[in-house]
Amino acid sequence: MGESGAVPHVLIFPFPAQGHINSMLKLAELFVSLTNFHVTFLNSEHNHKRLGLRADSLLERVHFEAITDGLPECHPRSADRIMDLFDSLKARTKPIFREMLREKAKRGEPPVTCVIGDAILSFILEIGEEVGVPVIAFRTVSACSLWAYFSIPWLIDARVLPIPEGADMDQTVTCVPGMEGLLRLRDLPSFCRERDISNPGLQLVQNETRHTVKARTLILNTFEALEGQTLNQIRKHCKTVRAIGPLHALLRAQGPKAPPLFPSMSLWLEDRSCLTWLDSQAPGSVLYVSFGSYTVISRRQLTEFCYGIVNSGKPFLWVIRPDLLDGEEAVLPEELALQAEAQGRFVKWAPQEEVLHHPAVVGFLTHSGWNSTLESLEAGVPMLCWSFFADQQVNSRFVEGVWGVGLDMKDVCDRVVVEHKVRELVENEGPRRAARAMAERVRESVNPGGSSFMEFEELIDDIRSMRACTL
């Protein structure tokens, strides 16, 4: 990836949530590892503090900055209060970001060549146009879920939405181009279950997604061999679409070198002792369980999952965040807790990429967040999917129904079903074989000459060709 001309300055601005920060920090690391770009990474002040990034320890060519999200420090910033965050970002953060871009030039900093903005925040596109800075949109979800979001107006026109009360959730949806007959009502993004199409959450994802077409380039953390058919649908509406993922695999493909620039990108403190525990387990024996950084479950659901996993007899490593339960402490019934602790291990957070690559891990019980899905695909680990929110319903459907790399347990949380599905995942060779084959396709896409490798090179060339903004 050659170097020429003036050094570009890229400002990266993610939506302030763990999953969005993860993938966009991977992009920053790729730029720093493979180019001479100046990179500015813009976090919310709240997350900047949680990540522990300080001015005196910044890397030579990466500058971390913080901007308010407008919410009080005590706000939970949880999935059930996500509209508070969106509203505050638009009202409070937007004008500050506009002035930030203008002030950078006045302070004599390297002029911003382009902004890579989270595409769920369309105001970044608006501000870029106002101040004359090109904006590349980065949507951190899968192509299939993005296309489902894009299709919401067609679903409304076809009177599929709002879903009538008492509707058969297994009814097939036929008006999403390229996915005819694949999606059921239960597979549509969670926002589509709202009974009122004027619901703010449904309107937000619909409107923000449709704004994506205004970006000069849309980048997605996916690859052609996985989602080529859906990418072709998206390309009919967007100027340029670049599939450059999985980003963590593209980084891994660069070969052994110095430790990662960002050893831990987690907002939670990782418990690395779980890797030592995994070392003591038999190869291909442990079920890894994690519902990500946003999912919130009930005490009943926690208990049903635990009974099902314990009754399966399989060793497990289970991530239980302090805020996993809705307003409660995650405490199991005493007898169940004793059984579980004898059979597995609980941690508050884990180094997930390393866990999934550990030879002891045989399967992944997941919420089907896109980062987790990609990490599992890259590691060749089959998935048992229990989706919770937003794009996860679509992802879980594709895991089983299209890619064949796992099982979809959507909308069911019953100990008998959990036990059966865990056994099926661990003992059935089909998903494991498909997962191993998919891992090979991942490697092909990110190695030199692969589709994602080539798309990333073209993205670099695009940025180099942009005239640095003089504001």
Distance CA 235, CA 239 (A): 7
Taking a C-beta distance cutoff of 8 angstroms, is the pair 244, 219 a contact? yes
Q: How confident is the model at residue 267 (pLDDT cuts 50, 70, 90)?
A: low
Beta bridge partners, 286, equal: 361
Instruction: Name the residue among 96, 95, 99, 127 with its Cα closest to residue 114.
Output: 127
Q: How confident is the model at residue 181 (pLDDT cuts 50, 70, 90)?
A: confident
Residue 307 has pLDDT above 90, yes or no: yes
Higher pLDDT pick, 383 / 271? 383
Share of the chain above pLDDT 70, in %: 92
Q: How confident is the model at residue 471 (pLDDT cuts 50, 70, 90)?
A: very low
User: Could you write out the DSSP letters of every residue in 49-88?
Assistant: HHHT--GGG--TTEEEEEE--SS-TT----GGGHHHHHHH
pLDDT of residue 61: 63
Determine the average pLDDT of the residues in 327-355. Answer: 88
Determine the average pLDDT of the residues in 292-302. Answer: 87
Reported as a single tens digit per residue, the pLDDT across 137-167 is 999 999 999 999 999 999 999 999 999 999 9
Q: How confident is the model at residue 381 (pLDDT cuts 50, 70, 90)?
A: very high
SS3 (DSSP) at 377:
helix
pLDDT of residue 259: 44
- Encoding tokens for residue 298? 């009930």
Residue 427 has pLDDT above 70, yes or no: yes
**38 catalytic residue (yes or no):** no
Determine the average pLDDT of the residues in 328-352. Answer: 88
Residue of 38, 46, 118, 408 marked catalytic:
118
Determine the average pLDDT of the residues in 363-373. Answer: 96
pLDDT of residue 258: 42
pLDDT of residue 105: 60
Residue 414: partners with Cβ closer than 8 Å, 6 or more residues away:
304, 308
- Count of H-run helices and E-run strands, the chain: 19, 13
Distance CA 170, CA 291 (A): 24
pLDDT of residue 107: 66
Residue 244 has pLDDT above 90, yes or no: yes
Higher pLDDT pick, 13 / 46? 13
Question: In 148-189, where do the E strands start and end?
Answer: none
Average pLDDT, the chain: 89
pLDDT of residue 108: 61
Taking a C-beta distance cutoff of 8 angstroms, is the pair 146, 232 a contact? no
Determine the average pLDDT of the residues in 231-256. Answer: 91
Amino acid residing at 272: R
Distance of alpha carbon 390 from its chain centroid, rounded?
Answer: 11
> pTM above the 0.85 mark?
yes
Burial class of residue 405, CB neighbours in 10 A (0-12, 13-18, 19+) = buried
pLDDT of residue 467: 61
Domains belonging to the chain, first-starting first, are 9-253+447-465 (3.40.50.2000), 273-443 (3.40.50.2000)
**408 catalytic residue (yes or no):** no
Residue 264 has pLDDT above 70, yes or no: no
Taking a C-beta distance cutoff of 8 angstroms, is the pair 348, 273 a contact? no
Determine the average pLDDT of the residues in 323-349. Answer: 86
Q: How confident is the model at residue 455 (pLDDT cuts 50, 70, 90)?
A: very high
381-390 per-residue burial string, b: 16 or more CB within 10 A, e: under 16: bbbbbbbbbb
38-44 β-sheet, strand order: 62-67, 38-44, 9-13, 114-118, 135-139, 217-220, 241-243
Higher pLDDT pick, 18 / 187? 187
Residue of 9, 20, 46, 358 marked catalytic:
20
